[in-house]
Structure 1
Amino acid sequence: MIRLVLIVLLASSTATAQHNSHDHSASGQNMAVPKEPGQGAFASIAEIVALLRADPDTNWSRVDIAGLRQHLIDMDDLIMHAEASVEQVPNGVMFRVGLTGPGGEAVRRMVPAHAPALAIETGWSSVAEIGRNEVTWTVTSSDEVDVIRALGFFGLMAVGGHHQAHHLGMAAGKMVH
């Protein structure tokens, strides 16, 4: 019993000493520092804040981190809670995405904004219409029908290299989409 107590005390004392010897800067240490600062939305905001702080031309009176946070919440709500039904149409698909429930407002804000960005980046036809209870989004292409159908609603929402620039612009108060 005494031996067990000594082992626990020694382990606790060693862990405390190691913890106390580290600072958050990790300067002068040969230890690798993690690159991911935590949960995804937090990591996105941390990256944007670092970019804004490094840019001497940042107009701090226009910075809107709260707006970026709301958009990241919308992204999560859309991916986790939106309900999309799919119907095959000639050369593509048509989605009906409900505007009720936790994902409804995210759908209302994001799908109509993303549809033209998808068309620009891919050359596909991408048309979203907001109805009373749903957004109808039709995506078609004469030569990439299989890709469109395979990606489905959530894959198509993720297509494009514009997301990062969109987040930076949103946080800097320069653009919405």
Structure 2
Amino acid sequence: MTRTFPEITPEEATTLGGLGAEDAMAILGHSLAEAVRAAPQTPSRAVVRFGCASIEVEWPVGTRVVESAPAAAPPEPAEDLAAVVAPVVGTFYRAPEPGARPFVEVGDEIEVGTQVGIVEAMKLMNPILAEEAGVVAEIVAGDAESVEYGQPLLLVRPRTEG
């Protein structure tokens, strides 16, 4: 089965909301999964391109694609809690390096701009900074867990004035 999508040039990609490399890779991964899922039988090879980026996967002959259960929806933060969310698709880390103390723990007071974690995407370490001052109420994402764009990483009980 061949599924063709219109070719998007890098110039066009930059005009599509200023997509960065992480977003392009997320689109590629999602498109590849959709193409394989839509195939009447397991393909032996699949290629998905987005501008100048592409993902190519080959399966040994006789490999079966098993559909996984849908991922659970991320928990919605309670009304009085603010979510710190993943800015990109990647891997969330609670500490600056393996074996080090986590940036924050439940109960820690944080200020706007406090680093609360890292999301690694394509070998780039993206610092995750608090956008709200308050107390860490819950750490939703596990250390070294794959996260999606917009997925809550931790919940903060905002500081009340007065």
TM-score with structure 2 setting the length: 0.29
Bigger fraction of residues in helix: 1
More strand by share: 2
